[in-house]
Structure 1
Amino acid sequence: MTTMPTVESTATQQDEWEDGAQEPEFKPLTREEAQQWRASQPVFFVWRLVGVQLLAGLVAGLLGWLLTQSTAVAWSVLYGAASVVMPSALMAYGLTSSALARLTSGFAQAAFAGFLLWEGVKVLLVVTLLWLAPAVVPELNWLGLLAGLVVVLKVYWLGLWIQTRRSNENG
């Protein structure tokens, strides 16, 4: 069981470091300690977060239609939501199911490069979908599209909070 350093001990250590004293030597975890630490950390399921985004987009589209009784607004909200959900799903697939993910799983730098690659693909797809919006959605309502996009982007944090809360209750 590890204890958190007190404010006094942290301040004392910081004063010692500023006075030119050596930093405490880094002690790597043993295999058992590392496994115990991993077991105590919450597990995040990317696909569950994509599902929460999809659900929020569908609810936002329904609310857009109920509040305005306009199919143009509903389709605009749904397209804005899809402009976030589809690239997120593609990135999740790329990070979890691709051969690149399996190849880079043991190498932190390669895994980070893979993450950057998929993030770049995601951003390009979002920009392309938004650029195509006027051609795809008849009678596009820009406020509806923006509302769907923002709702789905912001619900990501709700999904993370729910997932963290669940794993804390189970652990």
Structure 2
Amino acid sequence: MAQASSNDKKIASETESEVEDSDFKPLTAQEAREWRSRHPALSVWRIVWGQAAVGAVVALLAWWLTGRLPVAWSAGYGALSVVVPAALFARGMARRRSTAGAAMVGLLGWELVKIALTVAMLAAAPRVVPGLSWLALLVGMVVTMKTYWIALLARPGVRRTD
């Protein structure tokens, strides 16, 4: 019995020291407003439109560099196979969920839809794009996908306080 009480005391003192060691303190309403003003939300639709613009530029560059229209169509279709599923995903995720579990199920469900649509578009590519260039399609896809990183790195309005 004495052994159990000393273990309980040891666990309680470890828990107390963990609480004391943590630097967590909840924000006040004013601090939360200031944090939100320094870290504005990034619009998903802005990313999707950015991807569409980058895809159009890649298709135009492919046409300019090669002088062949099928290469431009291939690069453009590669970009579309990223943009269309991303737009559908953004539309599906825009709906508010009542619980965190519902939000996770929605995220996973729409991500599966996005992947399936991308695979279906790639499978249809040889029938949809005459004179398909797989290399141009792949370049269009990869460059358009990398737009996510550019958008995250170049977010407007993010200011460091450190």
Instruction: Give the TM-score, by structure 2 length.
Output: 0.79
- How is 1:46-61 mapped onto 2 (pairs within 5 angstroms)? 46-61=44-59
Deviations along 1:37-91, whole A, 9 cap, x unmatched? 4444331100000011000000000000000000110000000000000000111
**Residue 19 of structure 2 aligns with which residue?**
24
- How is 1:80-119 mapped onto 2 (pairs within 5 angstroms)? 80-96=78-94, 101-102=95-96, 104=97, 106-119=98-111
Partner amino acid for 1:49? I
Separation of aligned partners in 2, 1:32 and 1:107: 26
The answer (yes or no) to whether the contact 1:54–1:85 under 8 Å persists in 2 is yes
Whether 1:44 and 2:70 are equivalent positions in the alignment is: no
Structure 1 residue runs of 4 or more that deviate by more than 3 Å after TM superposition: 25-40
The answer (yes or no) to whether the contact 2:38–2:157 under 8 Å persists in 1 is no
Taking only aligned residues, the RMSD between alpha carbons, in angstroms, comes to 2.2
**Residue 158 of structure 2 aligns with which residue?**
168
Whether 1:66 and 2:59 are equivalent positions in the alignment is: no
Whether 1:128 and 2:120 are equivalent positions in the alignment is: yes
Instruction: Give the TM-score, by structure 1 length.
Output: 0.75
The answer (yes or no) to whether the contact 1:47–1:89 under 8 Å persists in 2 is yes
> Helix, strand or coil: the match of 2:83?
helix
How far 1:33 sits from its partner (Å)? 5.0
**Residue 157 of structure 1 aligns with which residue?**
149
Q: Which has the larger radius of gyration?
A: 2
Percent same amino acid at aligned positions? 48
Structure 1 spans left out of the alignment, 5+ residues: 1-19
